[in-house]
Amino acid sequence: MCYAIPGKVIEIDNNICKIEYFGIIKKVRNDFYDLKIGDYVYAQGGFVIQKIPKEEAIETLKVWEEFFHKLKEIDLRVTYPSKDLYKIANRIRQEYHDNSCCVHGIIEFSNYCRNNCLYCGLRRDNKKLKRYRMELDEIVNLAFYAIKKLNFKALVFQSGEDLYYDIDKLSYIVRRVMEESPCLLILSIGEREIEIFEKLYEFGARGVLLRFETSNEKIYEKMRPGHKLEDRVNLIKELKNIGYLIMTGFLIGLPGEEEGDILNNLTLTNELGAEMFSFGPFIPHPDTPLKDFSPPPMEKVLDTIAQARILYPNSKILVTTAMQTLDKKEGLKKGLLAGANSLMINLTPKEYASLYEIYPNRDGIGEDVNKKIKEIIDLLHKLGRAPADIGL
């Protein structure tokens, strides 16, 4: 199974190209390859990430073409059975994004964190948690497996804020992956020095996933002791200026959340120029100070997805795995039918994934990765979604 459709280069203007997929034309940025008109490429998040041999592209397109149109028909037929709000959001998603759905892989390489966020199971004061760090080559080899064998085109490298991975170690990971198996490489390593992000950009990283968590300063300072919302927001802006694609967002239902906070959160996500909105429910962790609070109802999360889609139709909206914890059976499906169009598959090896416990009962932990991929692809097909990212 492939998670991107090959596109044909039809126009080149310096590092901006136009590529065509089944008559749809998209603009993408090419930072990595020497391209000419007629070449075939894979693009993710608006970047050319791989040049592909013509014969291979034509073969893949042949398989895709009929299927692509069949899926589109299914997508137009499937609707959410409950609220009009979700139906409207879903319709807007179809108008702006067609039936394409980004499927990114995520590798959680360390659960050490120097911070003490009240909501998070990885907080440094959680002494019950067994900590792990993956070896550099273990991370790189897992990425190679994900890209070469599982066909992922976009990978998130996530950890707590773990200073063990200094600029040299992080550079090693990014350089090796991008030299041998280019992908849309997304960093989710917390608030680190800007020099680190600059260096990793040079080596080819192009995305950053960093939530601002809440736009409510009072709640922010309470939840993230010793930290200021302004610093987080400024860092995200700097990362955007470097050229990174920004994936950001917030937690829904943090204790103290006030009327209007969600709308402010959505506004801030948009103001930060997020390419992808990433927000999800707060799930209380038993070994944190917030253990006695409740998660928000699923409906609130779905409403937020729908509102985000209606307010910012161009954005990509992720169904976060925390939603699948709130509703194991249908969380993903409900999110996708309320306006979302992206998801992540956890590729962290089992022995580590169970320790990456930001919140309890994470969905899909311990399941075989091939089985997980199959289940998700089956669901996407049932909903008429093409697991592809066809550019900007």
For ligand SF4, which stretch binds (CB under 6 A), given 118-126, 142-150, 339-347, 368-376? 118-126
- To ligand SF4, the closest distance from the beta carbon of 223 in angstroms equals 9
- To ligand SF4, the closest distance from the beta carbon of 218 in angstroms equals 18
- To ligand 5AD, the closest distance from the beta carbon of 376 in angstroms equals 20
Closest CA relative to residue 223, chosen from 253, 188, 255, 252 = 255
Sign of CA dihedral 221, 224, 228, 229: negative
Per partner kind, with CB cut-offs from 5 to 8 A, the member of ligand SF4, ligand 5AD, none near residue 160 is ligand SF4
For ligand 5AD, which stretch binds (CB under 6 A), given 175-183, 277-285, 336-344, 383-391? 277-285
Are the C-beta atoms of residues 285 and 357 closer than 8 Å to each other? yes
Per partner kind, with CB cut-offs from 5 to 8 A, the member of ligand 5AD, ligand SF4, none near residue 115 is ligand SF4
Identify which of residues 79 and 267 has a Cβ nearer to ligand 5AD in the complex.
267
Per partner kind, with CB cut-offs from 5 to 8 A, the member of ligand 5AD, ligand SF4, none near residue 161 is ligand SF4
Residue with tokens 């948690």: 129
Q: φ and ψ at 245, to 5 degrees?
A: -75, 135
Strands 184-188, 154-159: pairing kind: parallel
For ligand 5AD, which stretch binds (CB under 6 A), given 59-67, 200-208, 262-270, 276-284? 276-284
- Tokens representing 328 are 């194991």
Q: How far is CA 65 from CA 71, 336, 377, in A?
A: 10, 23, 17
67's enclosing H/E stretch is: helix 54-77
Spatial separation of the C-alpha atoms in residues 40 and 17, rounded to whole Å: 12
Q: How many residues bind ligand 5AD (CB under 6 A)?
A: 12
Closest CA relative to residue 345, chosen from 327, 319, 326 = 319
Q: How far is CA 386 from CA 4, 149, 246, 379, in A?
A: 9, 19, 23, 11
Site map 199..238 versus ligand 5AD, x via CB under 6 A: ------------x-x-------------------------
Q: Give Cα 225 distance to the centre of its chain.
A: 26
Figure out which of the listed residues 85, 120, 308, 344 binds ligand 5AD, where binding follows CB under 6 A. 120
Per partner kind, with CB cut-offs from 5 to 8 A, the member of ligand 5AD, ligand SF4, none near residue 246 is none
Figure out which of the listed residues 142, 205, 322, 332 binds ligand 5AD, where binding follows CB under 6 A. 322
Sign of CA dihedral 287, 293, 299, 304: negative
Q: φ and ψ at 369, to 5 degrees?
A: -65, -35
Task: Verify binding: residue 326, ligand 5AD, rule CB under 6 A.
Answer: no
Spatial separation of the C-alpha atoms in residues 180 and 177, rounded to whole Å: 6
For ligand SF4, which stretch binds (CB under 6 A), given 16-24, 56-64, 120-128, 335-343? 120-128
Spatial separation of the C-alpha atoms in residues 355 and 220, rounded to whole Å: 25
Identify which of residues 21 and 282 has a Cβ nearer to ligand 5AD in the complex.
282
Task: Verify binding: residue 123, ligand SF4, rule CB under 6 A.
Answer: yes
Task: Verify binding: residue 388, ligand 5AD, rule CB under 6 A.
Answer: no
CB atoms within 10 A of CB 169: 13
Site map 335..374 versus ligand 5AD, x via CB under 6 A: -----------------------xx---------------
Figure out which of the listed residues 57, 103, 120, 251 binds ligand SF4, where binding follows CB under 6 A. 120
Identify which of residues 285 and 333 has a Cβ nearer to ligand 5AD in the complex.
285
Task: Verify binding: residue 106, ligand SF4, rule CB under 6 A.
Answer: no
- Tokens representing 83 are 């609220």
CB atoms within 10 A of CB 341: 26
3-class DSSP state of 346: strand
Q: φ and ψ at 332, to 5 degrees?
A: -65, -45
Task: Verify binding: residue 209, ligand SF4, rule CB under 6 A.
Answer: no
Spatial separation of the C-alpha atoms in residues 11 and 27, rounded to whole Å: 9
Task: Verify binding: residue 106, ligand 5AD, rule CB under 6 A.
Answer: no
In the complex, the residues that contact ligand 5AD under the rule CB under 6 A are 119-120, 211, 213, 251, 280, 282-283, 285, 322, 358-359
In the complex, the residues that contact ligand SF4 under the rule CB under 6 A are 113, 115, 117, 120, 122-123, 160-161, 190, 358
